[in-house]
Amino acid sequence: MFPPVTDLIPHRPPFLFVDEIVAETADGLVAKRLFRADEDFYQGHYPGAPITPGVLLCEAVFQAGALYMARSMAGQGSRNGVPLLAKVSDVRFRNPVYPGETILIEVRKKEAIGGFTMMSGSVKSGEKRVLNVDFAVAWKIPEATPAT
C-alpha cells in the first residue's frame, strides 16, 4: 500500500492530477488518474465534445515524476521542498482522453545531474497510447514567500 499522494507532493485539488500510486521500481513509478465527467475544465474544452487538455495530461506526468522523486527521498516529499519543472521536450500526443477514462501514468528516471532529475513519462488509457514526454525536475526548498 502506498501513501496518499497528498502526503508526498504539495499539489491539491483542483490542481492534483494523480489519484494514487499503483506500482514502483527503483527507477520509476506508475500512477493512475480518473478524469471525471464533472471536472470544470470540460465545460470549455470543448463544449459538446469534451476532451482532456493535453497540458493537463502532461501535468499528470510531471506530478507522477514529483511523486517518484518524493519516494526516492525516503518519503519525505513536501516536507523537504517542492518539485519545480525545469525542462520539457519531445512531447508526442497520440490519442485523446475523454471524460470517464482512467489513465496509467508511467515515469522513469533517466539520470540525475547537478540537482536536476531527467525523466521520461508516458500515459496510456487501456491499451491506447496517449502521450510520451521527456522532462527535468528539480526539488527545491522554497525561499520566503513575498507578502501579499
The residue length of the chain stands at 148
CA angle 76, 77, 78 (to 5 degrees): 120
Is 45 considered catalytic here? yes
- The C-alpha atoms of residue 2 and residue 130 are separated, in whole angstroms, by 25
Q: How far apart are CA 36 and CA 102, in angstroms?
A: 9
Catalytically annotated residue among 10, 19, 20, 45 = 45
Name the residue type at position 110.
Answer: K
Annotated catalytic sites, by residue?
45
